[in-house]
Structure 1
Amino acid sequence: MSVTQLYDRQAWNALPKREAEVILHQLVNTQFPGFTIKRFETFEKFGQRTYTSVLEYDGAEFVFVPGDTVVLGLDSWNMATENRNNMAAMFEDNAGEMDNYIRERLSPVRTVTIGPMIVEREYRPTGYFPVELTDERLTSDDYFEKAFAEVKASTREHWSYTVNDSFRLVKNGDKITAWLYQGASREELLREIQATGFRLPTEDEWEYLCGGGSRTLYPWGDAIDYDKDYLYFKKNDQPEIYLDTPNHFGLVIANNPYRYEIMMDSEWFLKGGDGGCNLCGGGGLDLGYLSVSTYFRDSSIFDEDLNYEEEITGDYTFIRRIKRV
């Protein structure tokens, strides 16, 4: 197995598929017990592609992500005129003030080497654990009967009904499952994850997984496309198919302003959103979606009143487990 190929995406993607498959079989068999290869697949999005394997571990899907040396962070961008004008209106048409606002919220430009890893494809919620619908801790909640009746009567095929930091009911077809909430500090959560043999990405790793080193504001470019359906700004009843689909590594990044992903070993320990602050503050689509920028940093995560370090779990924070090769 060539270490160079694992650390260089260009070299990795230049491999014949059969040779890449042999390497991945060897890698999984020697380093990742409990993982099985389900299939091999090419993922392509926003001008980038990767031929990789989709693996399964304990019911969850993972992908192999080759490493690379890339430039991360951003200090300039080429925003479309319409986007720029719409966003500048939030700053009383002061484009300079708008640019400073954006630049202050992006990570600095730096060159980093990212090692290869096995990465969970979907982000998963924090703080909730499954219980029976008859669990007394659930049925004793004042809102349970009303919530259960509403979910049961719903004609929706799939629905998640959450009573914040209390419980969640999930409907799939005729089946309803229940989840209770139990808070945890960041330290407790990381300790629990590491005890299972996994870790969470660093900020550098997450930016690479999200954008692959792209030199644009968003993973897809520098502009909001007003012809696309964005979550919370739908123009019709169709699902949002633009963002929540596998990216160039086969990963589903939330691209949801309300949803953070939790980092470890990094000062900026939440990435991928702002808890919906700009949306709730009337920022509209342009400013509201700034937080899904690959390089966005939300300084409010350090706010003592929000207390993220002491209780990092909840409805706005998610995890994506990884294993480094």
Structure 2
Amino acid sequence: MLDFQKLEHAQTLAQAIVNTIPEPFVVLDDRYHVLAASRSFYSTFNVQPEQTRGRLLYSLGDGQWDIPDLRVLLETIIPEQTAMDNFEVQHDFPDVGHRTMLLNARQVIYEDSSTRTILLAFTDVTARRAIEREKEELLSQTEELLRQKDILLQEMQHRVANSLQIIASILLLKARAVTSEETRQHLRDAHQRVMSVAEVQRHLHTLEGIDQIDVASYLSKLCESLIASMVGEGRIAIKVMADAGTVGSEKAVSLGLIVTELVINAIKYAFPADRSGALILVTFETAGPDWKLTVSDNGVGKSASDNDGKKPGLGTAIVQALVKQMDAQLETTSSAAGMSVGITQATFTSHMPLAS
């Protein structure tokens, strides 16, 4: 009688322990009949104790627990491995709906008996999986939108570059057609300004939409284009020296326009007659956020009397406006040995030479 009472007490304690588990939990015998189930199991799956205890797990709820993945876990995996964690099962339960569950199973083997008991715990991750799927869908949609944006950006850059090339070609054709030398020169200058912007667009298109321009490569290509279109081969040399680094496309456009104006000006006025060793030097130096752009030549320089009674030309006005827009300072030095124009961002100490 005492042993019977102890057994009853043990069963009561075991059931109390099972009921304190917050997640659905069942205890099965070695033939997969339910020995005990937690209150959360009954409430989660909408079943009653009298319809559950002592019954085959697969037959509960008119067979709603006869799940192929669950059979694989209990009949194949557990006998071989004794334990299994986070075994995922998906199933549509009547009156409950679709559920995704993680199953944790343990096989209890007794030393003095050939029977065994299986402990089976359920973690409902339906909401978690739904959130994960929603995140994946949002990520996929975001990636697709970014891909479309990149395609549109590249297409826009391609169209802008083509349009600039067309405008530049029209300006050049008009320059050849007009009879006024002054008008012809203005059209050629406008052509070079458009080409400086087109060169930025070409770099952006080459870099597949990356909004950063390699300064050395950009200035070199730009100056090569300027010298080739304006000067007879070999009459004036141009050299570019630039620190390694990149700048944003907007800043590159401003730098390119400034270089275009200053190089055009040097080509026009620094070398009024052919001379040996004629050189225009373009340098770009950086030190952290600070930078300095210099365009110098070894031409005839510019005397104070050259400006007497003359209004600044369009090129000078463009350079001054761009310098102000970039929050930089402009400094011009001139002598019989040549002229130098420096545009400086903040305080900068130059380490590059001038044309000589």
Please tell me the TM-score bracket, short chain as reference.
Answer: under 0.3
Q: Who wins on radius of gyration, i.e. which is larger?
A: 2
TM-score by length of 2: 0.21
Greater per-residue helix proportion: 2
> Which structure carries more relative contact order (alpha carbon 8 Å, separation 6+)?
1
